[in-house]
Structure 1
């Protein structure tokens, strides 16, 4: 996920812009949560001097948090038309579409926000209208690349604006904040046009129904699958809410205008060899269309023997198990699973090492700031920048306040930072106790003990012990375990003396400690213990 902020001026008068506000998915520290976003507490405190939010493109990790976090920031939003459409949908989801103002900016357009003169730079990526930002200030120009690659034949959108990048380099670039996603990969990212040819060949060779699982935001990939379907005499069926949403946004700016789609219900009346489904769920998301198809509970789409699913996407780190399970489920139904390990049906939207070398050659920054990647990607990107003779290379962490000018670049402070999980309808800090308890309960089980005492210290009821996700399944063995746990609780109560027997909180803490120690001794487990004492 991405949230970058640029400030200009002394601390007490500093003016700010934000570039992108995105989400990430499935943080293991927050079980039961699908969406995680950056904590904007620091920037919320600077809100009076926040001039605007500029969005580079419409991927979830760049705009996904805008609807939930905008009420805490309340700044005008700037985006190109395709990104603006999807941003307004995000704001509507967050309930703030009636308040937030989204200004549409033309491709290659320019925005002036206080001391920041921002020019959009056309790049190529795996979504329509990707932009870098040339951010001019009185102290120098910062090139913020956003997500990018160098695609010589991008199919949708213009080529990378090499002339402008060279011009920026000639004028002098103070710093470049640059994508590190593929910094470990030699060579170039490759072209979408190569994927289009291979995808068409693979689809043409399949006998039954074909489903293509891809990132819905990769409109060029969707278009490639649609052309292949049309050339093979297959009708195109969209499966999944995100697929409908992105296709609708693309058509609103003139893309995919010549494509005809068949409803899921209508598709059931067509021959198998006349169908191609475009499905969400390439990352194994449990509620996506492809997961429901694999489980056999999709209301309209059924795949089986003789059918094929093409995974035209990369595996995002952390999703390996979910994707493997999904592919196994499809295989068990007799479906042929085809991935980019079988054919070149996917190419990355991020720069590999030769792409990075080319960008540095064009832009020639004085300071390299690798971002957008894990620690090893950023470290490798930094090492590459040093070999390219960039005068200063800064490896920064979340929360670092980096001074770019005047003087040498340096980290001068650490701002409050963290992650928020969207849990149900609530934003919760990812380090909150609720997630700690949830992790323990999921891994170790739950033990609850309760009893009722009078004010004289006599036990009126209990102790009653309940187990969830813990202990043996055999009923007799479970009863013996419960007896041992209840005996341990009784003995602990007998040992409590004087004022302790009149203090509910102290009794609960003592019981919880006793139950945890007993569970460790009997079960070699450390369950989540909930102790309740009622004094009457």
Structure 2
């Protein structure tokens, strides 16, 4: 009897939406040959990760087994699937495989971080395949909100696995390939051991709508507006950007794209051959000369990002262009949970200008790129898998997807990040747990989520900061009283006196009472001065700030 096993291990993207990273392995326990599916990022927020630029999955488990990694496969070019590739590739150093459009974006990610783009290899769609150790992998086209998205057909000695990636059932997506039911039925006819499946919209009860349904609604809205129209959507949603541009042209407007990410995505789509009929656009310089009622801007920043074009327009001006009363701003996008504050801030700023803001609360101007509950069930029926492993979703999504699978007679398993599943038996089985987490790109360096850097930053943001400085002379006697600098704290406390003066007075009294052991020991001075500063702050302002003590000794 063989001791080999087939395993599945999510390191990111299972128990959250974003930061996707999945591992498949085959071979003897702890000696499996491995493939990696996707290396994505998540985006920070000011509440939990202030100052952080990007969030990556913790790939230490993979890095420790680098010599066993056969290949990295990227399903599509969204940031939460490819955004970490350039940052993390040096720790894995395995060949990267993707379809043309995705590969072009992957190459750029590699070049931006100084990694050799020659490690990215272009693969055609199914039935073309790549052999990677014990795995044979093919890219099966699916419809999604970015061109050339693919499910992966992963053939193993234990049978076939289908990893859906992000998908929806859309037979008229506009740009990119339509969903092909017959193709999925064909690749599944000889049996599918496991379906590892997108779970994002498992709570949406209605069948998903096609991208083609939003075009007429957007065209009608744009044509009815008397002033300038500005619209935002995800830069990667090439089909939607084209729909918006076509609506602008149809209403007799000149169209201008604003935002580097949007222009770059359209250019890449044209170069990759997935977009051939994008309307003509004008430059921002030329747009400034066009009458407002004859202009449409398509801009980045659908999630309220502070540096994106939409937020800058909301603050006043971007590349010489401004919005005014009577103009219309359209959010042709869904607000990702966690981004509501930024989006609402932009909406209110436009409202104060007299700009009419149209969002997508009614679903008229946006459709999701993910499969709704009936479509997930249709995928189950098409592929008829022995096992269903939900991925790409928060914990509640994964759990609900397991319920959907088991209610329809299939073995489902809940596998959030770090849960290693054996797919070798008749049922999926949890065989071990792996420590997972997050790493942060903080400026130009990578830091661990548990390193304390972000924790201290949050504490300072919540409670303020006090710097206490003390100079000791050659005889180890205080050279005057310590002095205090406050950051992020009020000048006066409940006593009405200066917080700085009250704190310095109490610190001076502490030094007068300190014995020689304390005065000779920097650690004891640090502890004592810190305690006094915090006690004063609690009494005067009801806060316990972060305190830094600087003791300088003259020699």
TM over 0.5: yes
Contact 1:139 1:406 in 2 (8 A): no
Partner of 2:409: 389
SS in 2 for 1:459: coil
For residue 205 of structure 1, report the CA deviation from its aligned partner. Answer: 0.8
Unaligned runs of 5+ in 1: none
Partner of 2:283: 263
Partner of 1:341: 361
For residue 473 of structure 1, report the CA deviation from its aligned partner. Answer: 6.2
Partner of 1:82: 101
Contact 1:162 1:362 in 2 (8 A): yes
Partner of 1:371: 391
Q: How many residues align?
A: 533
Structure 1 range deviating more: 344-353 or 406-415: 406-415
Which residues in structure 2 correspond to 1:113-512 (within 5 Å)?
113-254=132-273, 255-341=275-361, 344-390=364-410, 392-406=411-425, 408-454=427-473, 456-472=475-491, 477=496, 479=498, 481-512=499-530
CA distance in 2, matches of 1:153, 1:478: 70
Partner of 2:119: 101
CA distance in 2, matches of 1:443, 1:280: 31
Change over 3 Å in CA distance of 1:379–1:258 after alignment to 2? closer
TM-score, length-normalised on structure 2?
0.92
Contact 2:55 2:440 in 1 (8 A): yes
For residue 488 of structure 1, report the CA deviation from its aligned partner. Answer: 2.5
Structure 1 range deviating more: 297-306 or 43-52: 297-306
SS in 2 for 1:236: strand
For residue 92 of structure 1, report the CA deviation from its aligned partner. Answer: 1.5
Unaligned runs of 5+ in 2: 1-18
CA distance in 1, matches of 2:443, 2:470: 32
RMSD of aligned Cα (Å): 1.8
Partner of 1:5: 23
Deviations 1:460-509 (A, max 9, x none): 13311111111246999462x22221222223334433433212123212
CA distance in 1, matches of 2:481, 2:429: 63
CA distance in 1, matches of 2:346, 2:258: 16
Partner of 2:39: 21
Contact 2:207 2:375 in 1 (8 A): yes
For residue 274 of structure 1, report the CA deviation from its aligned partner. Answer: 1.8
TM-score, length-normalised on structure 1?
0.96
Deviations 1:69-90 (A, max 9, x none): 1111111110111111111111
CA distance in 2, matches of 1:187, 1:442: 43
For residue 342 of structure 1, report the CA deviation from its aligned partner. Answer: 5.3
1:39 aligned to which of 49, 55, 58: 58
For residue 115 of structure 1, report the CA deviation from its aligned partner. Answer: 0.6
CA distance in 2, matches of 1:455, 1:500: 16
